[in-house]
Amino acid sequence: MGAISLKIPQTVTVRVEGREYSITRGTRVKSFLRRHLPDLEPQCLGATLWNRLVALEAPIASSCDLVPVTYASKAGARIYRATLTIMLCESAARLFPSARVQVGQALGDGYYFDVSMEPTLTPEDVAALEDEMRAMVERKEALATMRVPVHEAVEAFEAQGYGSQASIARTFREGWVNLVTMGNHVNLWLHPLLPTTKKIRSFLVRPFGDGLVLSFPPFGKPDDRPGELGDQKALFAAYRETRDWNRLVGVETVADLNRSVVNGDIGEVIRVAEALHERKVAAIADEVASRQGCRMVLVAGPSSSGKTTFVKRLRLQLMAIGLRPKALSTDDYYVNREDTPRDEDGEYDYECLEAIDLDLLNEQLAAVMKGEAVKTPRYSFTKGSRTFRKDPFHLEPREILLIEGIHGLNDRLTEAVPDNRKFKIYVSALTQLCIDDHNRIFTSDARLIRRVVRDRRYRGYTAAQTLSRWAKVRAGEMRWIYPFEGRADAMFNSTLVYEAAVLKVFAERFLMEVPESDPTHVEATRLLEFLDLFVPIFSDDVPATSILREFLGGSSFEY
């Protein structure tokens, strides 16, 4: 039998917005852009090839469709932010070699970092870090990437005292680890990065709490100065509480979580995490009960935060202290479909406030607060219209009204009810688990993965459909939810330190169903690479009352 001859062409075809270019196989993305799209090249931070996000240094190995990635896209913003994060860690390694820098939560348009050092970090130290980063930009310093065996990566991390990075590297099953360095600091390379600091334009490093905030320019405007942080006290406190919870259960990084799974300790981690949730729900119930004259509890938060389960658990805790909660759904107050406002694409916008019949809702709320009975509506999403219930709705003296909906913190929703009669709760999944000290988990990813699993299992949507709608969901949140989160009387962080490892069992398969030709394959691939970091946990140990059961199924609550 003769040898098989495989002829590999030396030229490939690259298609960009309908135009075709013939190039030499192996040409790097940055070289292609420089030669064929010189006007666009300065703004490009990366590209997608066959619906996969790649860095500018990536070779073009076959004929493909190429989509340039700029700061006007989420993918481009991630590249920009990941590069700046590497720069900050390198700056700290140069100026304060003994300091421990730990990436934390998103605050405003930036990331918070804990900085542990002796003596304590000062505003002058923060300014010095920023000055060094600006000098890096002036020098157009390179970010050198390499692929090394796991044992070499572990040795490099341990030599620098980076225990969390060494631990996560040990879990890599491929046997190879991608690293990046700018000289003093070696880090994991988990996201596409810029090859040099040349395209970094705007950023700020500001003191905050015991650490600092690395702020980025507004989305789509890389030359603009980052905005003000605003009042982040309540949000920061919720984040810190969850980070303290993680420390309490001994799981601060993905490596810690994986170790608990492999060692057989994960059952206790799950039980403690769920117990902490229950204690927080009980504490919020006590706050509601202590509010003099309070007759209404409003629960709001972004998509897939677990609001529905939170309300059910809060109801039980309120009953345990002698109150009798009664639910009212704002979904039943939607205007008829033909009267629903439309978005910029001409589709019905069910997330805008005007999709709700505010006049009817406030008229009935005012009446109920006076002790009167009203006939509430029932909205049919199938028919796109509403009817009215026959049985009247009213509140007894010991009853309290529970209202869940995305607009709960917006005063216009319930303007007929005085503020002193309302208690507002903001629910969101504010992830505090990090991959390692220098690689964070995007806050919205926890909710997106929850939604992918729930939509595929119970709502008949494929992962591709869920991913394609996510941008509009996020836009609605930015407009209708986040501007009002500061008005909450209490915040509940619904994230669970172990949840990604449980959701992985379902999400991986659903994300693998996304066709390579689908535009959402870029995001599906990113999420799959993220989930690959986790040792899976089967759902058997997840309590029936857990927030996660809203997405996994098997809840003891009815939905």
Find where tokens 């690395």 sit.
214
Q: How far apart are CA 89 and CA 135, in angstroms?
A: 14
Question: In DSSP terms, which residues pair with 211 in a beta bridge?
Answer: 114, 208
**What does the pLDDT profile of the chain (559 residues) look like in tens digits?**
556 666 778 899 999 999 999 999 999 999 999 999 999 999 999 999 989 999 999 999 999 999 999 999 999 999 999 999 999 999 999 999 999 999 988 888 899 999 999 999 999 999 999 999 999 999 999 999 999 999 999 999 999 888 888 988 988 888 899 999 999 889 998 889 999 999 999 999 999 988 999 999 999 999 999 998 888 888 888 888 888 888 888 898 999 999 999 999 999 999 999 999 999 999 999 999 999 999 999 999 999 999 999 999 999 999 999 999 998 888 899 999 999 999 888 888 888 999 999 999 999 999 999 999 999 999 987 888 999 999 999 999 889 999 998 899 999 999 999 999 999 999 999 887 899 989 989 889 999 999 999 999 998 999 999 999 999 899 889 899 989 988 999 999 999 999 999 999 999 999 999 999 999 999 999 999 999 999 999 999 999 999 999 999 999 998 8
CATH of domain 234-552: 3.40.50.300
Tell me the two tokens of residue 551: 């997405």
Q: What is the pLDDT of residues 314-372, one digit of tens each?
A: 999 999 999 999 988 888 999 999 999 998 888 888 889 999 999 999 999 999 999 99
What is the dotted CATH code of the domain comprising 11-70? 3.10.20.30
Write phi, then psi, for 351 (nearest 5 degrees): -90, -15
Q: Which residue has the tokens 């986040």?
A: 482
Q: Do 239 and 432 form a contact (C-beta atoms < 8 A)?
A: yes
Q: In this structure, what DSSP letter does residue 304 have?
A: T
Evaluate whether 294 touches 300 at the Cβ level (below 8 Å): no
Query: Domain map of the chain by residue range?
Result: 11-70, 75-219, 234-552
Instruction: Provide CATH code, domain 75-219.
Output: 3.30.980.10
Choose among 347, 355, 348, 362: nearest CA to 379: 355
- Per-residue pLDDT of 182-237, as tens digits, reads 998 899 988 899 999 999 999 999 999 889 999 999 999 999 999 988 888 888 88
